[in-house]
Structure 1
Amino acid sequence: MFRVEQVKSLNDLEMEVYQYVTKNYDKVKYMRIRELAQEAHVSTSTVLRFCKKMDCNGYAEFKVKLKQHFEKGKEISATDDVTEVIDFLKKTTSEEFEKKLDMLTEVIVRANRIIFVGSGMSGIVAKYGARYFSSMGKFCLYIDEPHYPTESRFFENALVIVFSVSGESNDTIGHVIRFKEQNCQILSVTNTENCTVAKLSDYNIAYYVTYTRLKVYDITTQMPAISIVERLGKKLYRYTSEGTDHTSN
């Protein structure tokens, strides 16, 4: 609910209100403005200034937003339904999916350098992908933080394999744009092909599962992305060790 720039704008007294609110969500949503001011040891004017900096016209609007935020967090639950993952794994055995994996394997084989990219949970998958492909004989690097410097001739003409569930992360999109400016090919693994990262990519493979968020955190399953990594890695190994006729075995 509270953005970084909002919190940074608070003075010492307003920070007292912020500290009290964050520690007492359950109480504050029922408090009148005078009660909150008394508990936070500030004036009602300070509370109103705090509300304004939180983009609220007054204390009443602030309480509404606070209640919505609190109840939204309570409503969301993490389920362990694996139906979609099972459906995805079944789809990967189709002839069409096999052909796409074979085509992507050929792209990977031709690449002199491979960089795996992702942030958050997708960054963990990127790290796993680089380690997995390296185990298959194709040395790779990974980038899992947004401000990693990529203005280097080393990255020119590399194949960049990008992981992003939403395909709309500003950090990941920024990396993709910078890599494209260095003539890199982009292969993206996203939840849907109708996203910015996929549209910026030379190649895309999408897996289509339900987005799942727990408050502000994306907890969408990464099992399809990991499955794609492993399928491509094993095809890569067979391709390089046995020849091109064995990619679909």
Structure 2
Amino acid sequence: MFNYEIIQSLNDLELMLYRYIMKNADKVVYMRIRELADEAHVSTTTILRFCKKVDCEGYSEFKIKLKMHIQKNESNKINDDTSIIIDFFKKLDNSELEKKLNTLCDLIKAANNVIFIGTGTSGILCKYAARYFSSIGRFAMYIDDPYFPRNYKMYEDSIIIAISVSGETATVIDHISNLKRENSTIVSITNSENCTIAKISDLNISYYVQRERIGISDITTQIPVLYIIESIGKRLHNKVIDSHM
């Protein structure tokens, strides 16, 4: 409702009115124009001029749009309870997941290189995963830049672990498609197995939690991914110890 261009066009009195409205929006939708003028210490003329600048014919239309703006923001509030995480951990007693985690450990043990690939928040998790694996004695690298130089020959006989919530990140799919030609084993960690990255992987681990977004930003919890990363690392460490005994 109040974009950058509109705010830039306001004069000092209108900016003072804007600041008052932002702090007291819930009250303003029920105020008469004279009440708002008195409270904000501006004239009714300033208020009507302000309404015009925010593309409203008059004060009544402005109050309707302001109320809709408040309701929209209320509907965008996110769920902050722990039910999603609790539900994920309840599903962990799953023999299929156990089998996949153990299979992945064996693949990592046999690979020449371990490389994590992802972008955005998943890219940050790739960096964490590479550091975590290296800390337990299995050196790993990560690629979190979609435009990383693509000398794919050096990744021959590597295991590539792609992390993606949606499983539809175009640059990651492009990386995977090229790496498959170099005899690399592709493993993916995604929210669902019904996505492109999961379908083109040799092994997919999916965790199925409720997707959450704010606008274009995906804020789906990453706790399941952290659990999977750390679980694989610990199992791998124990397998290496067992093989030396």
Q: Same-fold call, TM > 0.5? A: yes
Would the alpha carbon gap of residues 31 and 196 (structure 1) be closer, same or farther in structure 2, given more than 3 Å must change? same
Give, in angstroms, the shift of residue 118 of structure 1: 0.8
Give, in angstroms, the shift of residue 22 of structure 1: 7.8
Aligned residue number for residue 76 of structure 1: 76
Aligned residue number for residue 123 of structure 2: 123
Paired residues for 1:6-45 under 5 Å: 20-21=5-6, 30-31=54-55
Aligned residue number for residue 100 of structure 1: 100
Give, in angstroms, the shift of residue 23 of structure 1: 5.9
- Deviation per residue, 1:82-109 (Å, 9 max, x gap): 2121221232233332222111111111
Residue 231 of structure 2 aligns to a residue whose secondary structure is helix
Unaligned runs of 5+ in 1: 1-17, 34-67
Aligned residue number for residue 38 of structure 1: none
Aligned residue number for residue 167 of structure 2: 167
Unaligned runs of 5+ in 2: 10-21, 23-50, 58-67
Give, in angstroms, the shift of residue 21 of structure 1: 4.9
Aligned partners of 1:191 and 1:207 also within 8 Å: yes
Would the alpha carbon gap of residues 242 and 200 (structure 1) be closer, same or farther in structure 2, given more than 3 Å must change? same
Aligned partners of 1:72 and 1:215 also within 8 Å: no
Paired residues for 1:62-211 under 5 Å: 75-211=75-211
Aligned residue number for residue 43 of structure 2: none
Amino acid at match of 1:228: I
Coordinate RMSD, CA, aligned: 3.1
Deviating beyond 4 angstroms after TM superposition, the runs of 4 or more aligned structure 1 residues are: 21-24, 26-30, 68-74
Would the alpha carbon gap of residues 177 and 20 (structure 1) be closer, same or farther in structure 2, given more than 3 Å must change? same
Q: Distance in 1 between matches of 2:142 and 2:7?
A: 36
- Deviation per residue, 1:63-90 (Å, 9 max, x gap): xxxxx99976652122222212122123
Q: Report % sequence identity.
A: 42
Would the alpha carbon gap of residues 75 and 106 (structure 1) be closer, same or farther in structure 2, given more than 3 Å must change? same
Would the alpha carbon gap of residues 72 and 121 (structure 1) be closer, same or farther in structure 2, given more than 3 Å must change? farther
Aligned partners of 1:167 and 1:198 also within 8 Å: yes
Aligned partners of 2:134 and 2:140 also within 8 Å: yes
Question: How many residues are matched?
Answer: 197
Aligned partners of 1:188 and 1:205 also within 8 Å: yes
Amino acid at match of 2:5: Y
Aligned partners of 1:130 and 1:139 also within 8 Å: yes
Task: Look at both structures and tell me which one has the larger radius of gyration over its CA atoms.
Answer: 2
Amino acid at match of 2:224: P
Q: Distance in 2 between matches of 1:218 and 1:190?
A: 13
Q: Distance in 2 between matches of 1:28 and 1:169?
A: 42
Would the alpha carbon gap of residues 94 and 243 (structure 1) be closer, same or farther in structure 2, given more than 3 Å must change? farther
Residue 163 of structure 1 aligns to a residue whose secondary structure is strand
- Deviation per residue, 1:141-174 (Å, 9 max, x gap): 0011110012242212211001000001112212
TM-score in terms of structure 1 length:
0.70
TM-score in terms of structure 2 length:
0.71
